[in-house]
Each structure stands twice: as structure tokens, then as C-alpha cells.
Chains A and B, each alone.
Chain A
Amino acid sequence: MGKDAARYIHKEIYQRVNFLHQAAKLVLKQDPSNYGLCRYYISTMRTVAEKHVIRIHPAIKRTYCKHCNVILLSGQTCRIRSRSTSEPHTVVTCLLCGTIKRFMWRASYQLWLDKPEAWLAEKGKAQT
């Protein structure tokens, strides 16, 4: 019981974040010139997550522009290029505001969530 309560502590908020993200995607898909509504949904999603101090999963966080809150779709709202000037990486440029995201191709790189340190419960079990 206790564990279930802890697990679903913010379930509604996660559902809301998820819904808003998908709504933004859907709106942009239905009408490609409707950037405004898409931006509005993403910005509400971000404020909701901020209010509850929830971290948005990288899988979602990487799909919108950090600066102008639009969903990045390759060919429609963003340009994806790979470069290898100093170190090979991917560059995602938002076509509306020109903000750049860079993703390095580091073989050893792991997301924080995939690292064993992020999983506090297992760490706690190992210690006890």
C-alpha cells in the first residue's frame, strides 16, 4: 500500500504533461501553420511541470524548442544536420527562432536516468 502511494504521488500531473505534449503534436499535425497553439500547450506543460517540481523525461524534453516552445518536426519546424568539425555531433536548428540544440556522438554517454546512480531505491537496498 505504502509503496503504491509513493509510486502514484504525482500521477495526475504526469498524465497532464503527457496529454499536453501530445495535444501540441496533434495540433501541429492537423494544421502546420498553427504554431501559436502548439506553443501555448507546450508552455503550459512546462509551467505545470515547474509548479510541481517534476522533471520532464528527456524523450519529451528533446522534442520541443527550448526558446520558443514549438514542437520540433524535421522538415517542418526544424533542421537536423550532422557535423564533425571538432567532434562529431548532430545539430538541431529551430526554423522559427534559430535556436540550436547539439547532441554529441559520445559512445560512453549515458542519460542520467539510465545511470545506476539515479535509481536511489536500488542504491538504498545495496547499502542496507
Chain B
Amino acid sequence: MDQEPSAKDLTVTNAEAYQELSQADLGGKANQMSSGARTTYVTSFLGKHLPTNRLKTDTDLSAKFESVDCSRRRKKKRGKSKAGVGARTKVKAKLDWKLECGKKTSYSTYLPLKEMWTKYIEELIQFSSSPNLNLPAAAQKMMKADLHGCPLSVRKSKCPSYIGVSGIVIQETRNMFVLVTPCNEIKSIPKANSIFTIVLHDYVFTIHGNQFIVKPGDRAAKKFKTKPSLDL
């Protein structure tokens, strides 16, 4: 009897959680784009929808040729598609996707994501409800939270060039944090041998990178063990 209500209640929570953080709740800020975000939107939209041939300027005529004599025109052979190279295998090859490091993107594109993340984390760790925040519990929740979109900075690292880098996390993999810095650059920083900090409402959360080497999907289910921390 004790276990029976769980199914119903879970569905209820699902619906509730979905409503609490709806898109409308974000206010107009998700809809208002900054100029940088707008240009990225427009360029990617145009690149997708305009024919590429028409956008090219016709300067190089050497590559163009047209045959005047059309007497011999071969029929196109309809070859069978080779077995094994189906659409699905092609897609699988495409799915292995990586962000290009050092590529230029606009930082402002990801500002709404950051805003959404702060809303999410405020809801997860209730800052406002209690003046004395239960810090161990908050840390527990922080470990299981999602870090996509959070403002992160590197405090200590074995590699001196990583120290002081800050930005918005757009991807978290097993070994890396991929950040967008305010200078519109994508930087990937390995988790190992470095210490990260997150600043949230006068609280500073510190992440020890060595303990964090887990896939983001598996992290919520993982039990954290105390490991000796390295001196950096």
C-alpha cells in the first residue's frame, strides 16, 4: 500500500515541474535578442534557406563550362545503392559531433541560457526561503544539478594558462568543460587537475575537477567518495 501512490504522485510532479519553469516564466528576455544574437540567428537562417550557388559571386569562369555540341548525351545510369551505406549509418557518422575549439561565436547568444540556468538553480536550491541556507544539502544538490549554462571560472589549475578563464558552460563532457568566454571564443578546459568556482548570490561553490570526471548524465546517479585532493 505504501508503494502504490508513487506512480500517481510521480506523474503529478512531472506536470508540476514542467509548469513551474515554463517559457513564459522567463519573461520577454528570451524573446528579446541582443544584436550579436540577432546576427548569428540571421546568418545561420540565411545560410540554411538561401541557395548557396546564388550567393557566390561569378568571378572564376574557368571552372564553368558548357558543351555546345549535345549530340552525344549519355543516359544516366541508375545504380543500386550500395548495401550497408544506408541513411541511418550516414546519420550516425554525423552524430559524432564536436564543438570547434577556438571558433568564433557570439557570447550574447548564450546569455538567455545563462539566465535560464540561474532560474533553474534558484528553484533547485531555495535561496530566498530560508535565511540560513543548509549548506551541505545545497552542495549535495549542486553536485547533482545540471551545469549547462552556468557561469564558471577557473580558480586553480596545473596549467597556468587556464587560470582566470571564465565564461558560460555550453557543453559538459566526461573530461571537459566547454566555455564561451565574453570575448566570443569557445574554450574547452579539461576537468582534471583544476579547481572551478561558481558564484551565486553571495555564495561561492567550488568544484574540484578531479572528483568531477563523470559523464553529466551519470553524475546524478553516482555516489561521490572522498578522494585526496591534489595540491595545485
The finding on whether chains A and B are genuine partners in a shared complex, rather than unrelated, reads yes
Number of interface residues of B (CB under 8 A): 57
Majority secondary structure of chain B interface residues (helix, strand, loop or mixed): helix
Query: Counting CB contacts under 8 A, is B8 at the interface?
Result: yes
Is there contact, CB below 8 Å, between B217 and A47? yes
Q: Given A12-B141, A120-B4, A122-B8, verify A18-B48 contact (CB < 8 Å).
A: no
Query: Counting CB contacts under 8 A, is A23 at the interface?
Result: yes
CB neighbours (8 Å) of A119 from chain B are 7-8, 11
Query: Counting CB contacts under 8 A, is B205 at the interface?
Result: no
CB neighbours (8 Å) of B91 from chain A are 67-68, 96-97
Partner of A15, one of B45, B113, B124, B171: B124
A121 to chain B, nearest CB (A): 4
Is there contact, CB below 8 Å, between B21 and A11? no
Majority secondary structure of chain A interface residues (helix, strand, loop or mixed): helix
Q: Mark A5-48, 1 if CB is under 8 A from B, else 0.
A: 01111111111111110110111011111101101110110011
Query: Counting CB contacts under 8 A, is A81 at the interface?
Result: no
B172 to chain A, nearest CB (A): 8
Q: In chain B, what residue has the closest Cβ to A122?
A: B8
CB neighbours (8 Å) of B40 from chain A are 30-31
CB neighbours (8 Å) of A54 from chain B are 10
Query: Counting CB contacts under 8 A, is B165 at the interface?
Result: no
CB neighbours (8 Å) of A3 from chain B are 5, 9
Of B13, B88, B145, most A-chain CB atoms within 10 Å: B13
A97 to chain B, nearest CB (A): 4
CB neighbours (8 Å) of A60 from chain B are 18
CB neighbours (8 Å) of B48 from chain A are 32-33
Q: Mark B1-17, 1 if CB is under 8 A from A, else 0.
A: 10011111111111101
Is there contact, CB below 8 Å, between A19 and B116? yes
CB neighbours (8 Å) of B35 from chain A are none
Is there contact, CB below 8 Å, between B44 and A34? yes
A66 to chain B, nearest CB (A): 12
CB neighbours (8 Å) of B23 from chain A are 22, 25
Is there contact, CB below 8 Å, between A59 and B217? no
Query: Counting CB contacts under 8 A, is B163 at the interface?
Result: no
Query: Counting CB contacts under 8 A, is A1 at the interface?
Result: no
Give residues 162-202 of B contacting A (CB, 8 Å): 170-171
Give residues 44-58 of B contacting A (CB, 8 Å): 44-45, 47-48
B101 to chain A, nearest CB (A): 13
Partner of B11, one of A43, A118, A123: A118
Complex CA gap A11/B218 in Å reads 17
Is there contact, CB below 8 Å, between B146 and A36? no
Is there contact, CB below 8 Å, between A120 and B7? yes
Knowing that A30-B33, A52-B221 are A-B contacts, what are 6 other residue pairs whose CB atoms are under 8 Å apart, sorted by A's residue number?
A6-B9, A7-B9, A25-B23, A31-B40, A32-B48, A67-B88
Task: Give 21 CB contacts A-B under 8 Å.
Answer: A7-B12, A10-B13, A12-B144, A15-B120, A15-B123, A16-B145, A22-B116, A23-B116, A30-B109, A37-B99, A37-B171, A44-B148, A44-B216, A44-B217, A48-B220, A57-B14, A97-B88, A119-B11, A122-B8, A124-B1, A128-B1
